[in-house]
Amino acid sequence: MTNIDIGFLAAITVTFVLAGVVKGVTGMGLPTVAMGLLGLFMPPVAAAGLLLLPSFVTNIWQLCAGPDFRGILLRLWPMMAAIVVGTQIGIQLLTGGAAGWTTSALGAALFIYAAYSLMARPLVVPLHLMRFLSPLIGLVTGLLTGATGVFVMPAVPYIQSMGFDRDMLVQALGLSFTVSTVALALGLASQAALQIHDLGLSTLAIVPALLGMWLGQWVRQFVSPARFRRWFLMCLLALGTELIARPFWN
C-alpha cells in the first residue's frame, strides 16, 4: 500500500473518530461532521457513499435504544415517506458530475444549519399544523439529503419542535437519520454511484465511528454538552464557509 493510501486511510479514520465524538457528546452530528470533513479531500458524492454504513450502524443503535419506536413511527411516517421521495429527486444533483457546485451546496447546508442552531429560537409548531407540515418538511429534507448528503435541515429543528421528551427526541432523530441514510443509499445505487470499493471503506469506517462515540460518551462526563455543541457549531460555520468558497479559489 502506498504512502498516499496510508495517508488517505488515516484521514478517513480521524474523520470518523471526530464525527463519532461529536455524536457521543451531543447525540447527533456524525453524518454532518463526516460529510464536511470528507468534503475537504474528496467529492461530496464519494463522501456520501463512504458515510453510509457508519451512519446506519450508529443511528440504528440510537433508534433501538429509545422507549417508543412504534409511537414515534406512527407520528412521523408521513415525513419519513416524503424524505425517501425527496432524496430520490435530489440525488440527481449530487451525482450529476458538477463537483464544484455540490461542494458549495454542501458548505451552504453546513453553514445554514450551524447558523440557525446558534441564533434561532426553538420552534413551536401547533399540533394541528403538523399533519400538513410533516410531508413538506420531509420532502425538503429529502431534496437536501439527495443534493448534499446532509440530512439535518429542516428535519432536526422541526422534530425538536414536536414536544418529545429527551429520550423520545433522541429516538425520533435516530429514526429520521436512519431513514435518510437508507434513502441516500438507494439514491446512490439508482444512479450507479455506489461502488463495492466505497462499501468496503464504509465498512472499515464503522470501527473509528464507534470508537469516537465511546470517547464522546466519556467526554460527556466532563464537558457540558451545551458548551461542546456551541463550539462544534462554530467550527461547522468555518468549515461550511471554506467549502462554499473553495470552487471560487480554483
Tell me: the pLDDT tens digits for 110-137? 888 888 888 877 777 777 788 889 999 9
CA distance 30 to 208: 11
How confident is the model over 177-182, as a mean pLDDT?
93
Domain count, the chain: 1
CA distance 150 to 105: 10
Higher pLDDT, 200 or 249: 200
Q: Kindly tell me if the per-residue pLDDT of 100 is higher than 70.
A: no
- Give residue 1's pLDDT band: very low, low, confident or very high (50, 70, 90): very low
CA distance 40 to 103: 9
Note the pLDDT of residue 43: 82
Q: Residue 156's domain spans which residues? A: 3-249
Note the pLDDT of residue 42: 84
CA–CA–CA angle 237, 89, 138 (5° rounding):
65
Q: Kindly tell me if the per-residue pLDDT of 2 is higher than 60.
A: no
Picking from 31-35, 45-49, 95-99, which range would have the lowest pLDDT averaged per residue?
95-99
Q: Which three cell numbers stand for residue 185?
A: 443509499
Q: Please give the full DSSP string across the chain, using - where no structure is assigned.
A: --HHHHHHHHHHHHHHHHHHHHHHHHS--HHHHHHHHHTTTS-HHHHHHHHHHHHHHHHHHHHHTSS-HHHHHHHHHHHHHHHHHHHHHHHHHHTSS-HHHHHHHHHHHHHHHHHHHHHSPPP---HHHHHHHHHHHHHHHHHHHHHHS---TTHHHHHHTT---HHHHHHHHHHHHHHHHHHHHHHHHHTT---HHHHHHHHHHHHHHHHHHHHHHHHTTTS-HHHHHHHHHHHHHHHHHHHHHHHHH-
| CA atoms within a 13 Å half-sphere pointing along the CA-CB vector of 122 | 6
